[in-house]
């Protein structure tokens, strides 16, 4: 296994609970969750808002430190690893964010955004190598001198992908990366991801609320609710025969682009 979470739980301070003295009450947002990804495998993390899918993704990258359980990356226990201990691993585990508008510095050119990521990891940050990365994600080399606001939403998301894959990572967490895009742009970005993952042997945790997208991209799917994994399995199997009523409801709630009288009332 490349990345593995064993029975992890995550507590955060409960901000809705007022305290005057002493400790704030804890809120458990991940409950005894286990998940493992092999090299080259794509797993969809699916659930509604508040289900814990993003918290799980971030925990896998050790952006959160779990309150209980264990996280292993390539055989190494990183559950409580310090920032210094994690540093050499950071290049190998990357994240692509939902909103490229807010995750790309508006005052930096695309070239400098990518160069910074490469330099920090001791990699070749020449214009030539940046142009090669841009080309791989389908952006012209002229984008080097552009600022994020000068690109379209789809192009900005490609920059977010470029920043992650430029470092040749083994594991990528993609958090709702197509949810703000038009369907046509979404199709292009999904196609790009499929290409990159087979080329680079990426393990990909694809966080999404959109089951149709997950169905088309992921081999395995994990359904989350209330901080727990309530169902998991091969995507085809889960869609064909969901074992929980919740998964069934999620699937049945997706409106299909064909007129189905009575669907709304079902």
| C-alpha to C-alpha distance for 59 and 4, rounded to whole angstroms | 11
Segment interacting with another protein (CB under 8 A) among 2-10, 31-39, 109-117, 176-184: 176-184
| C-alpha to C-alpha distance for 50 and 29, rounded to whole angstroms | 8
Interface map 13-42 toward another protein (x if CB under 8 A): ------------------------------
Contact 217, 194 (CB under 8 A): yes
Out of 10, 115, 211, 223, point to the residue binding another protein (CB under 8 A): 211
244: contact with another protein by CB under 8 A: no
Angle, helix 127-136 to helix 153-165, in steps of 10 degrees: 120
Out of 77, 85, 124, 191, point to the residue binding another protein (CB under 8 A): 191
Q: In angstroms, what is the minimal distance from the CB of 16 to another protein? A: 10
CA 76 to chain centre: 21
216: contact with another protein by CB under 8 A: yes
Exposure string of 145-167, with b = 16+ CB inside 10 Å and e = fewer, is ebbbeebeebbbbbbbbbbbbbb
Q: Which residues contact 113 (CB under 8 A, 6 or more apart)?
A: 104, 105, 148, 159, 163
Segment interacting with another protein (CB under 8 A) among 70-78, 127-135, 185-193, 199-207: 185-193
Q: For residue 6, report the phi and psi dihedrals to the nearest 5 degrees.
A: -115, 115
185: contact with another protein by CB under 8 A: yes
Tell me the site size for another protein, rule CB under 8 A: 36
Q: What 3-state class would DSSP assign to 128? A: helix
Out of 40, 209, 228, 243, point to the residue binding another protein (CB under 8 A): 209
48: contact with another protein by CB under 8 A: yes
Q: In angstroms, what is the minimal distance from the CB of 217 to another protein? A: 9
Site for another protein in 56-115 (CB under 8 A): none
Q: For residue 80, report the phi and psi dihedrals to the nearest 5 degrees.
A: -120, 25
Segment interacting with another protein (CB under 8 A) among 22-30, 37-45, 72-80, 177-185: 177-185
Segment interacting with another protein (CB under 8 A) among 55-63, 68-76, 111-119, 245-253: 245-253
| C-alpha to C-alpha distance for 173 and 58, rounded to whole angstroms | 8
In the complex, the residues that contact another protein under the rule CB under 8 A are: 48-49, 153, 182-188, 190-191, 209-213, 215-216, 235-236, 239, 249-251, 253-260, 263-265
């Amino acid at each position: 296994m490349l990345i593995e979470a064993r029975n992890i739980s995550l507590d955060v301070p409960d901000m809705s609970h007022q305290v005057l003295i002493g400790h704030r009450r804890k809120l458990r947002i991940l409950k005894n969750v286990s998940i493992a990804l092999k090299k080259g495998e794509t797993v969809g993390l699916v659930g509604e808002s508040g289900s814990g899918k993003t918290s799980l993704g971030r925990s896998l990258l050790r952006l959160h430190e779990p309150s209980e359980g264990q996280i292993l990356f390539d055989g190494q226990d990183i559950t409580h690893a310090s920032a210094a201990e994690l540093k050499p691993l950071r290049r190998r585990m990357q994240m692509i964010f939902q909103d490229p508008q807010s995750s790309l510095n508006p005052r930096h050119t695309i070239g400098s955004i990518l160069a910074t990521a490469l330099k920090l990891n001791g990699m070749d940050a020449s214009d030539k190598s940046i142009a090669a990365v841009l080309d791989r994600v389908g952006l012209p080399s002229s984008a080097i001198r552009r600022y994020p606001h000068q690109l379209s939403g789809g192009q900005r998301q490609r920059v977010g992908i470029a920043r992650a894959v430029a470092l040749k990572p083994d594991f990528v967490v993609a958090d709702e990366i197509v949810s703000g895009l038009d369907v046509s742009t979404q199709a292009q970005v999904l196609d790009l991801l499929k290409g990159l993952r087979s080329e680079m042997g990426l393990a990909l945790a694809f966080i999404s609320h959109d089951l149709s997208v997950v169905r088309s991209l992921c081999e395995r799917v994990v359904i989350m609710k209330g901080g727990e994994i309530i169902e998991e399995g091969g995507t085809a199997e889960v869609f064909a025969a969901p074992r929980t009523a919740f998964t069934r409801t999620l699937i049945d709630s997706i409106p299909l682009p064909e007129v189905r009288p009575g669907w709304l009332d079902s």
